[in-house]
Amino acid sequence: LPAGLSQWFPALEVLDVSGTGLAEMGAELLSLPCLHTLLAKNNRLGGPGSLPKGLGQAPLARSLRVLNLSGNRFAEVPPVLLQLRGLHSLSLGGNRLHSIPPDIQELRSLEFLYLGGNFITSIPPELAKLPSLKYLVLCDNKIQSIPPQLSQLHSLRSLSLHNNLLTYLPREILNLVHLEELSLRGNPLVVRFVRDLTYNPPSLQELAGRTVKTRNVPYAPSDLPENLVRYLSLASNCPNPKCGGVYFDSCVRQIKFVDFCGKYRLPLMHYLCSPECSSPFSSASQSSTSQSESDSEDEASVAARRMQKVLLG
């Protein structure tokens, strides 16, 4: 970027440097107080110096609303980007990302997140902490599973998951009541019943976490190291209505097919907090027909009917 940028154009609000071969954007950006939209797609950004140091302290950190870095060479989300507190819209489509940093949750104002066309293999549960996220695009990646915590994205309207490596979905996806669009094509979703997967016994940390949550042991952020406070906030509720327990990483997983009025059969993964929880749902014969299962069938079929309108072919 030319060195005199902020002197010549102090009132600049929109800067589009897409398709210019840019490899670095430096301090010239830091003194643009009015910039709300920065489009830098199809460049050679991705190495160190792609974004200036000190971005978090610049006026840009609060003023920037839209950032488009699609079609570049980012192999990881630059940490300095996560300091853009005012960002509403972020696109890193068509880069070389292998993962999403948990600190993505710092982008508290984010409404639109486009990460399609990367090499992402998993989604951190912290992504679900973005309170305003409406539109999440994760298509054309290598994602193998969706964390159940994603159902905490209460504002989510549109979720794009097509062309990934999903074999099942978490049952919690039915909880996304505001979801209007969901794309799932091009995933190897299992079509046949899959037997119970291996149950890994819980770690001591998990057992302690479960106790804290189910017994409502009070704690404040000052009582525990930050990583444990974060861990406790990721508890998931056991869907077995007779259990009321929570689980973190250790759970029994069971695939149940939810039939969308005979049109689609989506394999939903039920996470139960222990093998004892599986009895109300499925009989010992491990039958795959959903008619025999009672409890959650009604809530599942209501949710399924709503989801059917949402599923994009």
Residues lying near another protein in the complex (CB under 8 A): 41-42, 70-71, 91, 93-94, 114, 116-117, 135, 137, 139-140, 157-158, 160, 162, 180-181, 183, 185-186, 189, 191, 262-264, 312-313
DSSP state of 95: S
> Least separation, in Å, of the C-beta of 124 and another protein?
21
* Residues in the chain, overall count: 313
Note the helical H segments in the chain.
5-8, 60-63, 204-214, 226-233, 297-310
Are residues 107 and 84 in contact, defined by beta-carbon separation less than 8 angstroms?
yes
> Least separation, in Å, of the C-beta of 313 and another protein?
3
Closer residue to another protein (CB): 138 or 174: 138
DSSP SS3 for 140: coil
> Least separation, in Å, of the C-beta of 294 and another protein?
27
Closer residue to another protein (CB): 180 or 299: 180
DSSP SS3 for 144: coil
> Least separation, in Å, of the C-beta of 199 and another protein?
29
Closer residue to another protein (CB): 124 or 186: 186
Closer residue to another protein (CB): 91 or 149: 91
Q: Which two tokens stand for residue 147?
A: 């964390």
> Least separation, in Å, of the C-beta of 169 and another protein?
14
Angstrom CA distances, 165 to 113, 185, 270, stand at 20, 10, 18
Closer residue to another protein (CB): 179 or 252: 179
DSSP SS3 for 148: helix
Report which residue type is found at 5: L
Closer residue to another protein (CB): 31 or 308: 308
> Least separation, in Å, of the C-beta of 291 and another protein?
19
Q: Please give the Cα distance from 268 to 292 (Å, whole number).
A: 16
Q: Which two tokens stand for residue 283?
A: 């009989």
Q: Please give the Cα distance from 152 to 235 (Å, whole number).
A: 11
